[in-house]
Amino acid sequence: MSSSLPVLPIPERDEHSSHMENKFELIKLEENVYQGKYPLETFMAGARGTYGGEFVSQSMLAGWATVENPEFTPHSFHSYFVKAGSLDSPMKYVVSRNNDGRNFANRSVHVYQSTSNILCFVMIISFTRKNTLQKKIDFFKSDLTKKAPIPFEIQGSPHYFIKKYAKQLDTLPSITSTNDNLQHILPPEYFDLKRTKNTIDQQTEPGDRKLGFFVRCLDDLTKAKNPTKSKYVDLGFLSDSFYLSAIVRVLGLPFKYKNLQFFRVSLDHSVYFHDTDFDPTVWMFMDFKFSRYSNDRLLCNCQLFTMDGRLVATINQEALVYLSNEIINNIPSHSKKSKIIKL
């Protein structure tokens, strides 16, 4: 089925509304079938098509639109980028209701270019109604029978950059990107190799080296019609951030223009939401490592923390990455365990 709805220009920012909520608004075409009100955007002018957070955010909304229970929120999704989206028309979302249970619901979302009907993106997303730890803590404290389960949890610690720079963010330069929807702060160690001589670069295995940066979505959730859905849209959008570029820094090369000129494109993208208590429009901290690079595929493992150190989301992504011979030949000696083959 192709759509006959008009193609509208992407909405400009309105101080009286949530920009991302407007940008990803859906129109219901029929039962379980939706279309974006506007085309998706490329991450920058001149890019060959749209990928990444654009697909993720609107696909989450399409799957969520078929979940009737208002207590349900996403707890994980797994997705694949099949084709780049075109700016010529909005995307069409066909949702399959795989399961509706008491505590979990599952949906499949197939995303097509509305005019050509070309499949561009596939997502399987799961929802749950029990994903707020604070509710469990409050219930445990108020339970007079003393039979409520103990709200036990464990998590790892974020990279040390969060403590080192959390109180200095106002003094560090920021980078606004992705059509002015995201803002990043990269610690000085990305650019100055001397700062990490005895930390990142001296660890023995490149696949064990971690980095981190600060990120937020430039949106106003207080003006959203549905703040709960909007914050997931915003977090889904920033979950496909710029971290692929950081492979050169992990390999011991500084962040500068010539080192960043290599091909990279996402193949798949998965996110686990560990709690509902987050706000992606305030500064968050994302740390990551590249656990494997082989056969031109780079696997990135990311953790997204609130500024008080709570792990609220885990992100896994594999990408097609072509590092140039020049980049590989310039990798310093302390990274040679990356198994460089020189003929």
| CATH number assigned to the domain comprising residue 338 | 3.10.129.10
CA distance 232 to 272: 12
pTM value is 0.91
Q: Tens digits of per-residue pLDDT, 327-337?
A: 988 888 655 55
Residue 139: inside a domain, yes or no? no
74 and 167, same domain (yes or no): no
pLDDT digits (tens, 9 = 90+) for 191-222: 887 765 545 555 568 888 899 999 999 999 99
Tell me the per-residue pLDDT of 90-117, one tens digit each, with 9 for 90 and over. 999 999 999 999 999 999 999 999 999 9
With respect to residue 64, please indicate whether it lies within any of the assigned structural domains.
yes
Q: Which of 84-88, 231-235, 315-319 has the lowest mean pLDDT?
A: 84-88
Yes or no: say if 235 and 280 are a contact pair by the CB < 8 Å rule: yes
Decide if 142 is inside a domain. Answer: no
**Sequence-separated (6 or more) residues with CB below 8 Å from residue 326:** none
Mean pLDDT computed over 247-275: 91
Identify whether residues 221 and 110 lie together within a single domain: no
Count how many domains the chain has.
Answer: 2
In a domain, residue 251? The reply is: yes
Together in a domain, 126 and 171: no
Q: Which domain holds residue 217?
A: 160-343
Q: How many residues are present in the chain?
A: 343
Tell me what the mean pLDDT of segment 40-45 comes to: 81
Report the pLDDT averaged over residues 223-238.
96
Domain contains 144: no
Residue at a domain's end among 115, 131, 147: 131
Cα distance between residue 41 and residue 89, in whole Å: 11
169 with 256, same domain: the answer is yes
The rounded mean pLDDT for the chain is: 89
